[in-house]
Amino acid sequence: MIDIRGLREDPELVKQLLGRRGVEASVVEELAAADSALRDAVSARDELRSRVNDTSRRVAEAYRNRETAEAERLKEESRRLGTELEGIAAEAAELEQRRKELWLVIPNVPSEDAPVGAGEGDNVVVRYWSAEGGSSAAAPNLDYPEFKRVPHWDIGVELGILDLERGAKLSGSMFPLYKGLGSRLIRALTSFALDEHSDAFLEIRPPTFVKRETMISTGHLPKFADDAYQMERDDLWAIPTAEVPLTSMARDEILEAEQLPLMMTAATPCFRREAGSAGRDTRGLLRLHEFDKVELMVYSTPAQAQEMHAEILRRAESLLRQLGLTYRVLDLCTGDLGASSRRTFDLEVYAPGVDRWLEVSSVSWFGDYQARRANVRYRTEPGGSIEFVHTLNGSALAWARVIAALLETGREADGSVALPAVLTPYLRGVARIERPGSEI
Protein backbone atom coordinates (compact mmCIF):
# COMPACT_ATOMS: atom_id res chain seq x y z
CA MET A 1 0.00 0.00 0.00
CA ILE A 2 1.17 3.54 -0.65
CA ASP A 3 2.28 5.70 2.28
CA ILE A 4 -0.93 7.36 3.45
CA ARG A 5 1.10 10.03 5.27
CA GLY A 6 2.70 11.00 1.98
CA LEU A 7 -0.76 11.33 0.45
CA ARG A 8 -1.88 13.58 3.29
CA GLU A 9 1.23 15.76 3.14
CA ASP A 10 1.47 16.18 -0.64
CA PRO A 11 -1.59 14.83 -2.49
CA GLU A 12 -0.70 16.70 -5.68
CA LEU A 13 2.68 14.97 -5.95
CA VAL A 14 1.11 11.55 -5.37
CA LYS A 15 -1.53 12.26 -8.04
CA GLN A 16 1.17 13.45 -10.44
CA LEU A 17 3.38 10.36 -9.96
CA LEU A 18 0.49 7.89 -10.08
CA GLY A 19 -0.80 9.71 -13.15
CA ARG A 20 2.42 8.62 -14.90
CA ARG A 21 1.18 5.04 -14.67
CA GLY A 22 -2.33 5.86 -15.80
CA VAL A 23 -4.10 6.18 -12.44
CA GLU A 24 -6.89 8.74 -12.62
CA ALA A 25 -6.61 11.64 -10.18
CA SER A 26 -10.19 10.95 -9.06
CA VAL A 27 -9.13 7.53 -7.72
CA VAL A 28 -6.42 9.11 -5.56
CA GLU A 29 -8.84 11.84 -4.45
CA GLU A 30 -11.37 9.17 -3.43
CA LEU A 31 -8.77 7.50 -1.22
CA ALA A 32 -7.79 10.85 0.29
CA ALA A 33 -11.46 11.66 0.98
CA ALA A 34 -12.06 8.26 2.58
CA ASP A 35 -8.96 8.73 4.74
CA SER A 36 -10.06 12.20 5.83
CA ALA A 37 -13.59 11.00 6.65
CA LEU A 38 -12.17 8.07 8.62
CA ARG A 39 -9.87 10.32 10.64
CA ASP A 40 -12.81 12.62 11.47
CA ALA A 41 -14.95 9.65 12.48
CA VAL A 42 -12.20 8.15 14.64
CA SER A 43 -11.64 11.51 16.32
CA ALA A 44 -15.36 11.86 17.02
CA ARG A 45 -15.53 8.25 18.26
CA ASP A 46 -12.62 8.68 20.63
CA GLU A 47 -13.97 11.96 21.98
CA LEU A 48 -17.39 10.37 22.55
CA ARG A 49 -15.81 7.32 24.20
CA SER A 50 -13.97 9.66 26.56
CA ARG A 51 -17.27 11.37 27.42
CA VAL A 52 -18.93 8.00 28.07
CA ASN A 53 -16.10 6.98 30.40
CA ASP A 54 -16.22 10.32 32.20
CA THR A 55 -20.01 10.11 32.61
CA SER A 56 -19.74 6.57 34.00
CA ARG A 57 -17.19 7.83 36.52
CA ARG A 58 -19.54 10.63 37.53
CA VAL A 59 -22.44 8.16 37.96
CA ALA A 60 -20.39 6.12 40.41
CA GLU A 61 -19.32 9.27 42.23
CA ALA A 62 -22.94 10.47 42.51
CA TYR A 63 -24.03 7.15 44.00
CA ARG A 64 -21.18 7.31 46.52
CA ASN A 65 -22.36 10.79 47.53
CA ARG A 66 -25.97 9.50 47.75
CA GLU A 67 -27.05 11.92 45.02
CA THR A 68 -29.56 9.46 43.59
CA ALA A 69 -31.42 11.85 41.29
CA GLU A 70 -28.17 13.13 39.78
CA ALA A 71 -26.91 9.58 39.38
CA GLU A 72 -30.09 8.58 37.49
CA ARG A 73 -29.81 11.64 35.24
CA LEU A 74 -26.20 10.80 34.48
CA LYS A 75 -27.09 7.17 33.77
CA GLU A 76 -29.64 8.29 31.22
CA GLU A 77 -27.08 10.59 29.66
CA SER A 78 -24.57 7.70 29.58
CA ARG A 79 -27.10 5.46 27.80
CA ARG A 80 -27.74 8.18 25.23
CA LEU A 81 -24.03 8.71 24.67
CA GLY A 82 -23.51 4.95 24.45
CA THR A 83 -26.09 4.67 21.68
CA GLU A 84 -24.45 7.56 19.87
CA LEU A 85 -21.05 5.90 20.34
CA GLU A 86 -22.28 2.65 18.79
CA GLY A 87 -23.41 4.56 15.73
CA ILE A 88 -20.18 6.52 15.23
CA ALA A 89 -18.09 3.37 15.91
CA ALA A 90 -20.01 1.49 13.21
CA GLU A 91 -19.53 4.42 10.83
CA ALA A 92 -15.78 4.44 11.57
CA ALA A 93 -15.56 0.69 10.92
CA GLU A 94 -17.34 1.09 7.57
CA LEU A 95 -15.07 3.98 6.59
CA GLU A 96 -12.00 1.97 7.59
CA GLN A 97 -13.13 -0.93 5.40
CA ARG A 98 -13.82 1.44 2.51
CA ARG A 99 -10.40 3.05 2.84
CA LYS A 100 -8.76 -0.38 2.95
CA GLU A 101 -10.58 -1.51 -0.21
CA LEU A 102 -9.37 1.57 -2.08
CA TRP A 103 -5.89 1.41 -0.57
CA LEU A 104 -5.37 -2.22 -1.58
CA VAL A 105 -6.02 -1.69 -5.30
CA ILE A 106 -4.15 1.56 -5.89
CA PRO A 107 -0.73 0.70 -7.39
CA ASN A 108 2.58 1.80 -6.00
CA VAL A 109 3.91 5.29 -6.59
CA PRO A 110 6.59 4.89 -9.29
CA SER A 111 10.15 6.00 -8.74
CA GLU A 112 10.87 9.42 -10.18
CA ASP A 113 13.76 7.70 -12.02
CA ALA A 114 11.44 5.31 -13.88
CA PRO A 115 10.99 6.28 -17.55
CA VAL A 116 7.60 7.84 -18.22
CA GLY A 117 5.55 5.97 -20.81
CA ALA A 118 2.21 4.43 -21.65
CA GLY A 119 3.18 0.79 -22.26
CA GLU A 120 5.85 -1.71 -23.22
CA GLY A 121 6.68 0.21 -26.40
CA ASP A 122 8.09 2.99 -24.19
CA ASN A 123 10.46 0.76 -22.21
CA VAL A 124 14.11 1.85 -22.44
CA VAL A 125 16.88 -0.54 -23.50
CA VAL A 126 19.72 0.03 -21.02
CA ARG A 127 22.26 -2.33 -22.62
CA TYR A 128 22.76 -5.50 -24.62
CA TRP A 129 25.13 -8.39 -24.00
CA SER A 130 26.36 -11.15 -26.29
CA ALA A 131 29.15 -13.70 -26.01
CA GLU A 132 30.81 -12.22 -29.12
CA GLY A 133 30.48 -8.52 -28.39
CA GLY A 134 30.18 -8.29 -24.61
CA SER A 135 28.18 -5.44 -23.08
CA SER A 136 27.14 -2.68 -25.46
CA ALA A 137 24.62 0.09 -25.97
CA ALA A 138 24.20 -1.11 -29.57
CA ALA A 139 22.12 -4.13 -30.54
CA PRO A 140 24.24 -7.26 -31.22
CA ASN A 141 24.42 -9.11 -34.50
CA LEU A 142 21.38 -11.40 -34.69
CA ASP A 143 22.31 -13.01 -38.01
CA TYR A 144 22.09 -16.68 -37.03
CA PRO A 145 22.49 -19.62 -39.47
CA GLU A 146 19.31 -21.34 -40.65
CA PHE A 147 19.88 -24.45 -38.53
CA LYS A 148 19.47 -22.25 -35.45
CA ARG A 149 16.22 -20.80 -36.77
CA VAL A 150 14.23 -23.86 -35.65
CA PRO A 151 11.68 -23.27 -32.85
CA HIS A 152 12.41 -25.00 -29.56
CA TRP A 153 9.19 -27.01 -29.59
CA ASP A 154 10.36 -28.79 -32.73
CA ILE A 155 13.86 -29.22 -31.33
CA GLY A 156 12.50 -30.62 -28.07
CA VAL A 157 10.42 -33.24 -29.89
CA GLU A 158 13.32 -34.19 -32.20
CA LEU A 159 15.61 -34.72 -29.21
CA GLY A 160 13.00 -36.51 -27.12
CA ILE A 161 13.22 -34.10 -24.20
CA LEU A 162 9.91 -32.26 -24.56
CA ASP A 163 6.46 -33.84 -24.90
CA LEU A 164 3.84 -31.12 -25.03
CA GLU A 165 1.13 -33.47 -26.32
CA ARG A 166 1.40 -35.72 -23.30
CA GLY A 167 1.55 -32.70 -21.01
CA ALA A 168 -1.73 -31.48 -22.51
CA LYS A 169 -3.22 -34.97 -22.18
CA LEU A 170 -2.40 -34.99 -18.47
CA SER A 171 -3.28 -31.43 -17.50
CA GLY A 172 -4.39 -29.39 -20.50
CA SER A 173 -2.57 -26.93 -22.74
CA MET A 174 0.31 -24.81 -21.40
CA PHE A 175 1.38 -27.50 -18.92
CA PRO A 176 4.66 -28.84 -20.35
CA LEU A 177 6.09 -32.30 -19.86
CA TYR A 178 9.88 -32.68 -19.86
CA LYS A 179 11.61 -36.04 -19.99
CA GLY A 180 15.11 -37.50 -20.00
CA LEU A 181 17.70 -34.80 -20.47
CA GLY A 182 14.92 -32.21 -20.53
CA SER A 183 14.06 -33.01 -16.92
CA ARG A 184 17.71 -33.16 -15.95
CA LEU A 185 18.33 -29.81 -17.65
CA ILE A 186 15.79 -28.06 -15.37
CA ARG A 187 17.36 -29.73 -12.34
CA ALA A 188 20.85 -28.74 -13.50
CA LEU A 189 19.87 -25.11 -14.09
CA THR A 190 18.22 -24.93 -10.67
CA SER A 191 21.23 -26.39 -8.86
CA PHE A 192 23.58 -24.15 -10.80
CA ALA A 193 21.63 -21.01 -9.84
CA LEU A 194 21.22 -21.95 -6.19
CA ASP A 195 24.94 -22.66 -5.93
CA GLU A 196 25.73 -19.28 -7.48
CA HIS A 197 23.58 -17.52 -4.86
CA SER A 198 24.66 -19.58 -1.85
CA ASP A 199 27.46 -17.15 -0.94
CA ALA A 200 25.02 -14.49 0.26
CA PHE A 201 21.42 -15.73 0.05
CA LEU A 202 19.72 -18.04 2.55
CA GLU A 203 18.04 -20.89 0.69
CA ILE A 204 14.38 -21.41 1.57
CA ARG A 205 11.94 -24.08 0.43
CA PRO A 206 8.57 -22.42 1.08
CA PRO A 207 5.11 -24.01 0.77
CA THR A 208 3.59 -24.07 -2.71
CA PHE A 209 0.12 -23.14 -1.43
CA VAL A 210 -0.38 -20.03 0.71
CA LYS A 211 -3.11 -18.23 2.61
CA ARG A 212 -5.12 -15.40 1.15
CA GLU A 213 -3.35 -12.81 3.32
CA THR A 214 0.00 -14.01 1.98
CA MET A 215 -1.17 -13.26 -1.57
CA ILE A 216 -2.55 -9.90 -0.46
CA SER A 217 0.83 -8.95 1.01
CA THR A 218 2.56 -8.86 -2.37
CA GLY A 219 -0.32 -7.20 -4.21
CA HIS A 220 -1.36 -10.33 -6.14
CA LEU A 221 -4.76 -10.12 -4.42
CA PRO A 222 -7.28 -8.72 -4.87
CA LYS A 223 -6.15 -7.21 -8.19
CA PHE A 224 -4.92 -10.38 -9.95
CA ALA A 225 -7.30 -13.01 -8.59
CA ASP A 226 -8.29 -14.08 -12.11
CA ASP A 227 -4.68 -15.01 -12.91
CA ALA A 228 -4.23 -17.20 -9.82
CA TYR A 229 -5.10 -20.81 -9.04
CA GLN A 230 -7.21 -21.20 -5.91
CA MET A 231 -7.96 -24.24 -3.75
CA GLU A 232 -11.40 -22.99 -2.75
CA ARG A 233 -12.15 -25.62 -0.11
CA ASP A 234 -9.25 -24.39 2.05
CA ASP A 235 -8.94 -20.85 0.63
CA LEU A 236 -5.34 -21.58 -0.30
CA TRP A 237 -3.67 -20.21 -3.42
CA ALA A 238 -0.98 -21.77 -5.63
CA ILE A 239 2.00 -19.42 -5.65
CA PRO A 240 2.58 -17.52 -8.93
CA THR A 241 6.17 -16.91 -7.79
CA ALA A 242 8.30 -17.58 -4.70
CA GLU A 243 8.17 -13.82 -4.15
CA VAL A 244 4.78 -14.41 -2.51
CA PRO A 245 5.80 -16.63 0.41
CA LEU A 246 9.23 -15.03 0.79
CA THR A 247 7.73 -11.54 1.17
CA SER A 248 5.63 -12.79 4.09
CA MET A 249 8.46 -14.65 5.85
CA ALA A 250 8.59 -11.87 8.48
CA ARG A 251 4.95 -10.78 8.27
CA ASP A 252 3.82 -9.00 11.46
CA GLU A 253 7.39 -9.09 12.80
CA ILE A 254 9.88 -6.42 13.80
CA LEU A 255 13.44 -7.05 12.62
CA GLU A 256 16.57 -5.43 14.02
CA ALA A 257 18.58 -3.11 11.77
CA GLU A 258 21.64 -5.36 12.00
CA GLN A 259 19.63 -8.20 10.40
CA LEU A 260 19.29 -6.16 7.21
CA PRO A 261 19.72 -6.68 4.38
CA LEU A 262 18.09 -10.09 4.79
CA MET A 263 18.67 -12.00 1.54
CA MET A 264 16.76 -15.16 0.59
CA THR A 265 16.50 -17.46 -2.42
CA ALA A 266 14.05 -20.21 -3.31
CA ALA A 267 13.45 -22.68 -6.12
CA THR A 268 9.77 -23.45 -6.63
CA PRO A 269 7.19 -24.31 -9.22
CA CYS A 270 5.08 -21.29 -10.18
CA PHE A 271 1.42 -21.35 -11.25
CA ARG A 272 -0.37 -18.73 -13.35
CA ARG A 273 -3.67 -18.94 -15.19
CA GLU A 274 -2.54 -16.28 -17.68
CA ALA A 275 -6.23 -15.40 -17.94
CA GLY A 276 -5.51 -12.16 -19.77
CA SER A 277 -3.28 -13.81 -22.36
CA ALA A 278 -5.64 -16.19 -24.16
CA GLY A 279 -4.36 -17.01 -27.63
CA ARG A 280 -0.97 -15.31 -27.13
CA ASP A 281 2.34 -17.20 -27.27
CA THR A 282 0.73 -20.53 -26.42
CA ARG A 283 3.14 -22.71 -28.39
CA GLY A 284 6.09 -24.40 -26.74
CA LEU A 285 7.50 -22.88 -23.57
CA LEU A 286 6.74 -19.23 -24.20
CA ARG A 287 3.73 -18.88 -21.91
CA LEU A 288 2.86 -21.56 -19.36
CA HIS A 289 0.47 -22.24 -16.52
CA GLU A 290 3.24 -24.03 -14.58
CA PHE A 291 6.98 -23.41 -14.70
CA ASP A 292 10.07 -23.64 -12.48
CA LYS A 293 11.95 -20.61 -11.23
CA VAL A 294 14.68 -19.57 -8.82
CA GLU A 295 13.81 -16.35 -7.01
CA LEU A 296 15.89 -13.83 -5.08
CA MET A 297 14.23 -11.80 -2.32
CA VAL A 298 15.59 -9.07 -0.05
CA TYR A 299 14.37 -7.13 2.98
CA SER A 300 16.42 -3.95 3.28
CA THR A 301 16.53 -0.53 4.86
CA PRO A 302 15.65 2.36 2.52
CA ALA A 303 19.35 3.31 2.39
CA GLN A 304 20.32 -0.23 1.27
CA ALA A 305 17.61 -0.60 -1.37
CA GLN A 306 19.40 0.77 -4.44
CA GLU A 307 22.51 -1.31 -3.79
CA MET A 308 20.36 -4.42 -3.36
CA HIS A 309 18.44 -3.68 -6.56
CA ALA A 310 21.71 -3.50 -8.46
CA GLU A 311 22.99 -6.68 -6.79
CA ILE A 312 19.97 -8.78 -7.76
CA LEU A 313 20.23 -7.50 -11.33
CA ARG A 314 23.97 -8.26 -11.40
CA ARG A 315 23.38 -11.83 -10.26
CA ALA A 316 20.65 -12.47 -12.84
CA GLU A 317 22.88 -11.07 -15.60
CA SER A 318 25.82 -13.16 -14.40
CA LEU A 319 23.80 -16.36 -14.83
CA LEU A 320 22.84 -15.40 -18.39
CA ARG A 321 26.44 -14.57 -19.24
CA GLN A 322 27.67 -17.91 -17.91
CA LEU A 323 24.99 -19.62 -20.00
CA GLY A 324 26.22 -17.69 -23.04
CA LEU A 325 22.80 -16.28 -23.92
CA THR A 326 22.42 -12.99 -25.76
CA TYR A 327 20.24 -10.68 -23.67
CA ARG A 328 19.16 -7.11 -23.16
CA VAL A 329 18.24 -5.08 -20.06
CA LEU A 330 15.07 -3.00 -20.15
CA ASP A 331 14.18 -0.17 -17.77
CA LEU A 332 10.39 -0.48 -17.59
CA CYS A 333 8.39 2.67 -18.12
CA THR A 334 5.70 3.78 -15.68
CA GLY A 335 2.92 2.39 -17.88
CA ASP A 336 4.43 -1.11 -17.91
CA LEU A 337 5.42 -1.44 -14.25
CA GLY A 338 3.84 -4.17 -12.16
CA ALA A 339 1.25 -2.79 -9.74
CA SER A 340 3.47 -3.20 -6.67
CA SER A 341 6.74 -1.99 -8.21
CA ARG A 342 8.42 1.37 -7.92
CA ARG A 343 11.05 0.48 -10.51
CA THR A 344 11.76 -2.67 -12.53
CA PHE A 345 14.48 -3.89 -14.85
CA ASP A 346 13.57 -6.79 -17.16
CA LEU A 347 16.06 -9.21 -18.68
CA GLU A 348 15.15 -10.61 -22.10
CA VAL A 349 17.10 -13.30 -23.93
CA TYR A 350 17.12 -13.60 -27.70
CA ALA A 351 15.79 -16.90 -29.08
CA PRO A 352 16.69 -17.27 -32.80
CA GLY A 353 14.23 -20.09 -33.51
CA VAL A 354 11.21 -17.92 -32.69
CA ASP A 355 13.08 -14.68 -33.55
CA ARG A 356 11.92 -13.12 -30.29
CA TRP A 357 13.25 -11.45 -27.17
CA LEU A 358 11.91 -13.50 -24.25
CA GLU A 359 11.56 -12.14 -20.73
CA VAL A 360 13.35 -14.41 -18.25
CA SER A 361 13.65 -12.09 -15.24
CA SER A 362 12.06 -9.04 -13.67
CA VAL A 363 14.13 -7.34 -10.99
CA SER A 364 11.97 -5.00 -8.93
CA TRP A 365 12.20 -2.55 -6.06
CA PHE A 366 8.90 -2.16 -4.22
CA GLY A 367 9.84 0.44 -1.63
CA ASP A 368 7.70 -0.11 1.48
CA TYR A 369 4.53 -0.87 -0.54
CA GLN A 370 4.54 -4.63 0.12
CA ALA A 371 5.95 -4.25 3.63
CA ARG A 372 2.95 -2.12 4.61
CA ARG A 373 0.60 -4.84 3.39
CA ALA A 374 2.61 -7.57 5.15
CA ASN A 375 3.44 -5.40 8.19
CA VAL A 376 7.18 -6.16 8.01
CA ARG A 377 9.09 -3.59 10.06
CA TYR A 378 12.51 -2.99 11.54
CA ARG A 379 13.92 -1.07 14.48
CA THR A 380 16.27 1.60 13.16
CA GLU A 381 18.56 1.33 16.23
CA PRO A 382 18.33 -0.09 19.76
CA GLY A 383 15.48 1.76 21.41
CA GLY A 384 14.90 3.70 18.20
CA SER A 385 11.93 4.20 15.92
CA ILE A 386 10.21 1.41 14.03
CA GLU A 387 9.90 1.73 10.25
CA PHE A 388 8.76 -0.44 7.35
CA VAL A 389 11.44 -2.37 5.47
CA HIS A 390 11.86 -2.09 1.72
CA THR A 391 11.36 -5.27 -0.33
CA LEU A 392 13.11 -6.24 -3.56
CA ASN A 393 13.01 -9.36 -5.67
CA GLY A 394 14.09 -10.80 -8.98
CA SER A 395 14.01 -14.02 -10.97
CA ALA A 396 17.41 -15.66 -11.24
CA LEU A 397 16.11 -17.28 -13.30
CA ALA A 398 12.80 -18.52 -14.79
CA TRP A 399 13.73 -21.70 -16.65
CA ALA A 400 11.12 -22.36 -19.35
CA ARG A 401 12.15 -19.51 -21.65
CA VAL A 402 15.82 -19.96 -20.74
CA ILE A 403 15.54 -23.56 -21.95
CA ALA A 404 13.81 -22.37 -25.13
CA ALA A 405 16.71 -20.00 -25.82
CA LEU A 406 19.34 -22.62 -24.94
CA LEU A 407 17.84 -25.15 -27.36
CA GLU A 408 17.57 -22.66 -30.21
CA THR A 409 20.92 -20.95 -29.63
CA GLY A 410 22.81 -24.19 -29.04
CA ARG A 411 21.39 -26.14 -31.98
CA GLU A 412 24.06 -27.52 -34.33
CA ALA A 413 23.83 -28.34 -38.04
CA ASP A 414 23.36 -32.06 -37.25
CA GLY A 415 20.33 -31.33 -35.03
CA SER A 416 22.09 -31.87 -31.70
CA VAL A 417 22.25 -29.12 -29.08
CA ALA A 418 25.50 -28.00 -27.45
CA LEU A 419 24.98 -27.10 -23.80
CA PRO A 420 26.84 -24.41 -21.83
CA ALA A 421 30.00 -25.75 -20.22
CA VAL A 422 28.90 -24.40 -16.83
CA LEU A 423 26.12 -27.03 -16.73
CA THR A 424 28.34 -30.03 -17.52
CA PRO A 425 29.13 -30.85 -13.85
CA TYR A 426 25.40 -30.81 -13.06
CA LEU A 427 24.62 -33.15 -15.98
CA ARG A 428 27.19 -35.82 -15.02
CA GLY A 429 29.51 -34.85 -17.85
CA VAL A 430 26.88 -34.46 -20.60
CA ALA A 431 27.82 -31.54 -22.85
CA ARG A 432 25.46 -32.15 -25.76
CA ILE A 433 21.92 -33.42 -26.33
CA GLU A 434 21.90 -35.94 -29.19
CA ARG A 435 19.01 -37.42 -31.12
CA PRO A 436 17.50 -40.22 -29.02
CA GLY A 437 17.14 -43.94 -29.59
CA SER A 438 13.91 -45.73 -28.65
CA GLU A 439 11.61 -44.04 -26.14
CA ILE A 440 7.99 -44.04 -25.03
The pLDDT-based confidence of 436 (bands split at 50, 70, 90) is confident
| 3-state SS, residue 433 | strand
Does the pLDDT at position 278 exceed 90? no
Does the pLDDT at position 136 exceed 60? yes
Instruction: Report the C-alpha gap between 325 and 27 in whole angstroms.
Output: 43
Architecture of domain 4-105: Orthogonal Bundle (1.10)
At 86-125, the pLDDT tens digits run 999 999 999 999 999 999 999 999 999 999 999 999 999 9
Q: Which of 72-76, 191-195, 271-275, 367-371 has the lowest mean pLDDT?
A: 271-275
**pLDDT score, position 216:** 96
Give how far the C-alpha of residue 40 lies from the chain's centroid of Cα atoms, to the nearest Å: 35
**pLDDT score, position 375:** 98
Instruction: Report the C-alpha gap between 153 and 265 in whole angstroms.
Output: 30
Does the pLDDT at position 279 exceed 90? no
CATH of 120-433, one of 3.60.21.10, 3.40.50.720, 3.30.930.10, 3.50.50.60: 3.30.930.10
Domain ranges of the chain: 4-105, 120-433
Q: DSSP states of 272-331 as a string?
A: ---GGGTTSS-STTSS-SEEEEEEEEEEE-GGGHHHHHHHHHHHHHHHHHHHT--EEEEE
Closest by CA position to 254, among listed 169, 379, 420: 379
Q: Which of 70-79, 289-298, 372-381 has the lowest mean pLDDT?
A: 70-79
Which amino acid appears at position 194 of this protein? L
